[in-house]
Structure 1
Amino acid sequence: MALASKLAQLQSKATQASQFVAKHGPLYYKQLLEQNKHYIQEPPTVEKCDLLSKQLFYTRLASVPGRYEAFQKEIDYVKHMWKNRKELKIEDAGIATLFGLECFAWYCAGEIVGRGFTFTGYYV
């Protein structure tokens, strides 16, 4: 009985949400397009989308040397810090340790998500 009641409530809420979207959706869509019309490329064709996707890809590709240079600066900074580790303050060491722990935690979380939110890796 309780499951049927919950199902009826869920169906009622879904119907209400659907009606709300049907009533207010087109107006929201028009307002959104009007507010952001300066981003819209004319004419909105498949060819134009293809051109924009190629521009994005090659622009990102062109940014690789700058990113590589910034990465090299970061590596040089770490090397400098490692050479002068005797002068390293406790605060800096603590921040580096916390950063390492955060990276490890994100890695573990990614592994858990990748396994389908299981801790053992097996589907039970």
Structure 2
Amino acid sequence: MTDLMERLFRASQIFRSYPLCHSDPSRSFCYRGRYFGLCARCTTMYLGGILTMLAYLLWEPVFQGILSLVVGGLLLVPGGVDGTTQMFGDRESTNSLRAVTGLLLGMGVVILVYGFVTMLL
């Protein structure tokens, strides 16, 4: 397990210069004193998107047409609220909350894009 985590940390250094993520260590996951290259929200956002795409490939999509647009849009709301109230409000989010909202954001984006694509086809 330790070798796997070490390889993940080395690989995550590629994302350090990702332009849409601040990669702030205080807002990133940490393992044995080493930080992931992406913040907690971006890490779980990618994870949620990848898992949703895999689920859509393996099983029949649950949400079709307009319902996927509604569900995808609703899944974006918690991340938007958490991110904007943290940025413009006088509060600090936690990594646990960032992880949950990031996971929902990743799922929401994939479901929303799927809905747009199926409606256009």
Q: For the superposition of Structure 1 and Structure 2, which TM-score range results when normalised by the shorter chain? A: under 0.3
Determine which structure has more spread, i.e. the larger CA radius of gyration.
1
Flag the structure with more relative contact order, 1 or 2, with Cα contacts below 8 A and sequence separation at least 6: 2
Q: Which has the higher helix share?
A: 1
- TM-score relative to the length of structure 2: 0.25
